[in-house]
Amino acid sequence: MKELRAYQQSEAYKMCTEKIQEKKIKKEDSGSGLTNTLLNGHKGGDCDGFSTFDVPIFTEEFLDQNKAREAELRRLRKMNVAFEEQNAVLQRHTQNMSSARERLEQELALEEQRTLALQQQLQAVRQALTASFASLPVPGTGETPTLSTLDFYMARLHGAIERDPAQHEKLIVRIKEILAQVASEHL
């Protein structure tokens, strides 16, 4: 009953009532036509601008349409809840990914610092080895190391010692002394 009163007080009801009364005056219909229209609602083109009120109120058709709208509304609410849950899961996943990215960036920065420190230490050792072995040429070639040829120099020196260790005992002792000195200074 409250719904009927609310509907009767609405602007749409008033406009429809006015149009119906105008038609009644024009057609000079009997009074029962207006009463039936007001009690049972109105049909199709009575109110052109208000298509949502085309279904007569408190009829089976109205109740069925209302049930259908309620069912659609429940379905949309369920979908909304599902989307909100999915959104929450995605937000948590995004936050987890963001924190993991930040953690990995910190680890990467730390590893870059370690790598830089190791490169600097390697460069210092290479310079120390180059300086220390500068007075010790490779037997048979007279080659001495430079920073760019240190690896090749060490390989040739190692090869010469391996070929005839007995002949190069003094060289081995000198190499051990140089390496001990470099180790004590730089490591």
Q: Is residue 23 part of a domain?
A: yes
Claim to verify: residue 90 and residue 43 sit in the same structural domain:
no
Task: Name the residue among 114, 111, 113, 123 with its Cα closest to residue 186.
Answer: 123
**SS3 (DSSP) at 180:** helix
Instruction: Convert the pLDDT of each residue in 90-125 to its tens digit.
Output: 999 999 999 999 999 999 999 999 999 999 999 999
Instruction: Convert the pLDDT of each residue in 161-183 to its tens digit.
Output: 999 888 889 889 999 999 998 88
CA 69 to chain centre: 37
Quote the radius of gyration of the chain (alpha carbons, Å).
48
Claim to verify: residue 91 and residue 180 sit in the same structural domain:
yes
Q: Is residue 67 part of a domain?
A: no
Claim to verify: residue 112 and residue 181 sit in the same structural domain:
yes
Claim to verify: residue 160 and residue 91 sit in the same structural domain:
yes
Claim to verify: residue 102 and residue 29 sit in the same structural domain:
no
Under 8 Å between Cβ of 160 and 168: yes
pLDDT value of residue 28: 56
Indicate the number of domains in the chain: 2
Q: Is residue 10 part of a domain?
A: yes
Claim to verify: residue 92 and residue 41 sit in the same structural domain:
no
Helices (H) and strands (E) in the chain, counts: 6, 0
Claim to verify: residue 95 and residue 143 sit in the same structural domain:
yes
Q: Is residue 77 part of a domain?
A: no
Under 8 Å between Cβ of 143 and 137: yes
pLDDT value of residue 48: 44
Instruction: Convert the pLDDT of each residue in 6-61 to its tens digit.
Output: 777 777 777 777 877 777 777 654 444 444 544 454 444 444 444 455 767 778 88
Q: Is the pLDDT of residue 136 over 60?
A: yes
Claim to verify: residue 94 and residue 44 sit in the same structural domain:
no
Distance CA 103, CA 139 (A): 53
Claim to verify: residue 45 and residue 135 sit in the same structural domain:
no
Q: Please, what's the b/e burial string for 170-181 (b: 16 or more CB within 10 A of its CB; e: otherwise)?
A: ebeeebeebeee
Claim to verify: residue 97 and residue 24 sit in the same structural domain:
no
**What pTM was estimated for this model as a whole?**
0.50
pLDDT value of residue 53: 58
Domain residues for 10? Answer: 1-50
Q: Is residue 162 part of a domain?
A: yes
Distance CA 114, CA 108 (A): 10
Q: Is residue 137 part of a domain?
A: yes
Claim to verify: residue 89 and residue 179 sit in the same structural domain:
yes
Q: Is residue 63 part of a domain?
A: no
Pick 153 or 59 by higher pLDDT: 153
The percentage of residues in the chain with a pLDDT greater than 90, rounded to a whole number, is 50
Claim to verify: residue 20 and residue 89 sit in the same structural domain:
no
- Give the DSSP H or E segment for 111: helix 60-133
Q: Is residue 107 part of a domain?
A: yes
pLDDT value of residue 72: 96
